[in-house]
Structure 1
């Protein structure tokens, strides 16, 4: 048996027995779909599922930060999926997380860490997350989320009260709910002094601190127009062009960082992510051919600097980081700079932000319309307000991209539409951790933006549980063959889809999809318009 410290994640479905009793077949089908979501997120964040039983999932993570980020993304994703069902049929998880000393035996984990995680899950609200004090201490300064201290809680079969915190979850309207504070445990007597638990939690935190991670691409980014002169010394910024306006915000804490670049990857200026085209040219001309010792550093917003011809590798590393950090501060962006390259080897641990396949923009007169900030889909009101004041007056070329969870990012003053699209998509993916979509270019929407129904996410045929499995391939093929006009998808109780392809307007697409669905199924409703999954307004 092997003993180790790990972040333990426990989840199960609230009211699962009732859901099964009401409709066993439908509940089991949805459980399989929802478990695919949770399993994918756990794997993405480096977790390992070590036990399952019915609707329950137990997983371990090497980092408390990644465990909490995973839990938040799971709850946000399932909240969106639940919007398609009435409250009585919604399937919501409770999640508990702790850091603890556990024993590994034949792949399974045993010990107090597992037991406490399960008890914290029982304390969590429906659709919520409850963490131990040890976890809170690890993540409080690394994740931009709010916590409510619910104090020491007495839980079953754990002799010492567990000090717990609730994670504030986002409501449907974009605001954050204040978790309900549970009744704290009664003070302990002399046989169980109160100081023991804080000491124990502190020791566990100190032991596990090595597994904490820095939150990558999580904060709001805003760069003001500013000219930075090029330096001809060996201590040179990687770009001399004016800094473009950039705005990015996340509606939810971002998912995991993109896959890491292999440590043996050779530096290629043309593939450096997020930076401007002009920066890439400077890197190709001045950094790539230079001899050692040299290094380049950058922020997750594209601010960058490099040094060449340094007396040592350590000097090159520190010089690049120092110059990059100065640039970030001068641009009022106190973001963390990290090394991207040392010599001609890429050492950047976060990898390339994921972007969708090209073409990123299709200009279609049937769907294109003037840009209106309040009509940007998926965003909260605060985000729409920021876009309304910042995007319309900004200089072309500009682009706005959004993520499936309500994240957004825009840039202006770029040298071309292609550069605006690339950097906007990379910046948005840096926040969300998944591919985003360009919805506006200059002063026009360049994707069909639904108004008859509410956009609730990106529409993906393969993962949509409403469509019958045997029909998915046909739906995907037919939609891919209709790149222009308004498309819509409707389904009924049996999952038989009705499609509208290349309609001239949104209402015609909705009516046609419903009409085709009712020929094959009953109780039909529209689930997609254009690239968006939709629900009731």
Structure 2
């Protein structure tokens, strides 16, 4: 590992989950197109992308000037592209930039510089840019850019406020917009002196009233006979109430960064804890939850993150202490393994308070082994990810202990689980974590040393192939294609012509035979046929 100072650029799409939910395939196609624009500008400006996660991009630049100029070019270019779409379908990035001390490890960058850039991105307007004071000082006299000072901002998990500036973006007529100044952190304004006696008086009156009510209520309660069958209070000792219970640590996992949603308010505790429903965790942690955690009395809490890191606290003095202890233990474990995901409360007592529900999962079976199409795993052939991700797979997945697996989403997000007790455990956990990251069901691409789905090499992989919703195929013919592909083993290909009539090459012994058969079958029904799907992937011409 080595340290260095770099300008860190963080970007992601505003409202991406909503766009995917409304029209997944169109959103993913447009994301790929927009990412080409973003990547091209970054490369031309001398930047380097060091991490991606679906719609998020993290890049480093040798200078703040280059980073800001690149961000402006990206925003102006994408604004022009968005004009072709209605406001509800526009795809706009937020961008945050800072200068910071970072640690480089295996091509990835870690440290406060990366975290602050991500927080600044969250402060930016839709289609806008937010920079730190250090960047503003470097850029202010070197670029003809206007800024709005939004002051010191309290941001999540950064101990000191971050002084930030909004970049004024140019309008169509050449004028500049005025950024909306976000709420500035700081102490609330003091109340006028004349109000304090009034406030004290009101509080005193309320306190006397509440005290009297409780006193007389206690007298009435003391007179009443004890209720039969009342549940005994949970016992706790001073020693037990001071320590968090250590749940078994998870097998380390790796996932790309993505902003976490805000949890919903907790539900009331009660009932048996549903350990079988907890996602992201291995069997050791599940056994702990079924036994020690489930049977322990309050106050207790359990926290986790998408990477499978967990923390729990039993026999705490109150609910708040249990919450804090569980989150702290989980986050310490995640930070120690450089997990980019934040921990969230999953349960308080035996009540699940996790806001995100079960992650989307594909139908079972999750893996269909086929000796005709399976081949040795090779990082360079992993589909739909860029070179930094392939390098990470080579350095982390290939040498890792079994059982291990990698899941892939339609948008190119991926998640790997390594060192699991079984292939079933690793595939379930990688699908859960990948699905939670992407917001859509993922697909198992590799298990242990092999690719377990056909990996096309003759054409470029562009996404997941779903015949039932593929607009290239004539609507009346889609159900037939779905039916014929359902149980077809070996290599399979789908071709279409100008009229959308499909041709199929099924159960072939190799990729080339499947492609040739699909083209020949299509040519009998249509003209100008081309292949659109091979195995589980959509394909296009190789650039």
Find the counterpart in structure 2 of residue 78 from structure 1.
30
How much has 1:80 moved relative to structure 2? 4.9
2:122 to 139, 142, 148: 142
Q: Is 1:202–2:213 an aligned residue pair?
A: no
2:246 to 237, 241, 249: 237
CA 1:131–1:534 in 2, change beyond 3 Å: closer, same or farther? closer
Find the counterpart in structure 1 of residue 253 from structure 2.
246
* Structure having greater relative contact order (Cα 8 Å, sep ≥ 6): 1
Post-superposition CA distance 1:413-471 (Å, at most 9, x none) = 11100111111111212221211111111111110000011110001112211011111
Q: Could you tell me whether the CA contact under 8 Å between 1:121 and 1:130 is conserved in 2?
A: no
Find the counterpart in structure 1 of residue 195 from structure 2.
none
Find the counterpart in structure 2 of residue 125 from structure 1.
80
How much has 1:368 moved relative to structure 2? 0.6
Q: Could you tell me whether the CA contact under 8 Å between 2:300 and 2:322 is conserved in 1?
A: yes
Question: SS where residue 383 of structure 2 aligns?
Answer: coil
Q: Is 1:518–2:523 an aligned residue pair?
A: yes
Q: Could you tell me whether the CA contact under 8 Å between 1:238 and 1:306 is conserved in 2?
A: yes
How much has 1:78 moved relative to structure 2? 2.6
Find the counterpart in structure 2 of residue 476 from structure 1.
482
Question: SS where residue 534 of structure 1 aligns?
Answer: strand
Aligned equivalents of 1:282, 1:512: Cα separation in 2: 54
Question: SS where residue 450 of structure 1 aligns?
Answer: coil
Map of 1:139-178 to 2, 5 A cutoff?
A: 140-142=120-122, 149=129
Which 10-residue stretch deviates more, 486-495 or 123-132?
Answer: 123-132
How much has 1:41 moved relative to structure 2? 3.9
Q: Could you tell me whether the CA contact under 8 Å between 1:260 and 1:352 is conserved in 2?
A: no
Aligned equivalents of 1:289, 1:80: Cα separation in 2: 49
How much has 1:505 moved relative to structure 2? 0.8
Long gaps (5+) in structure 2 = 1-13, 36-74, 83-89, 97-116, 132-145, 149-168, 186-239
Q: Could you tell me whether the CA contact under 8 Å between 1:297 and 1:306 is conserved in 2?
A: yes
CA 1:259–1:404 in 2, change beyond 3 Å: closer, same or farther? farther
Q: Could you tell me whether the CA contact under 8 Å between 2:121 and 2:129 is conserved in 1?
A: no
Aligned equivalents of 2:325, 2:264: Cα separation in 1: 24
Post-superposition CA distance 1:48-97 (Å, at most 9, x none) = xxxxxxxxxxxxxxxxxxxxxx99x96543355999xxxxxxxxxxxxxx
Aligned equivalents of 2:16, 2:94: Cα separation in 1: 23
Find the counterpart in structure 2 of residue 326 from structure 1.
332
Post-superposition CA distance 1:374-433 (Å, at most 9, x none) = 111111122112112222111111111111111111121111001111111112122212
Find the counterpart in structure 1 of residue 458 from structure 2.
452
Post-superposition CA distance 1:311-342 (Å, at most 9, x none) = 22222222222222232233344642211001
Long gaps (5+) in structure 1 = 1-10, 12-37, 46-69, 84-119, 152-160, 164-180, 189-193, 207-230
Aligned equivalents of 1:261, 1:521: Cα separation in 2: 57
How much has 1:517 moved relative to structure 2? 0.4
Q: Could you tell me whether the CA contact under 8 Å between 1:369 and 1:444 is conserved in 2?
A: yes
Find the counterpart in structure 2 of residue 496 from structure 1.
501
How much has 1:304 moved relative to structure 2? 0.8
How much has 1:509 moved relative to structure 2? 0.4
Q: Is 1:433–2:439 an aligned residue pair?
A: yes
Q: Count matched residues.
A: 377
Q: Could you tell me whether the CA contact under 8 Å between 1:458 and 1:533 is conserved in 2?
A: yes
Aligned equivalents of 1:297, 1:531: Cα separation in 2: 36
Aligned equivalents of 2:397, 2:125: Cα separation in 1: 26
1:530 to 511, 517, 535: 535
Question: SS where residue 125 of structure 1 aligns?
Answer: helix
Root mean square deviation, CA, Å: 4.5
Q: Could you tell me whether the CA contact under 8 Å between 1:244 and 1:413 is conserved in 2?
A: yes
Aligned equivalents of 2:76, 2:295: Cα separation in 1: 55
Map of 1:85-484 to 2, 5 A cutoff?
A: 124-126=79-81, 140-142=120-122, 149=129, 197=178, 201-202=180-181, 235-240=244-249, 243-249=250-256, 267-333=273-339, 335-482=341-488, 484=489
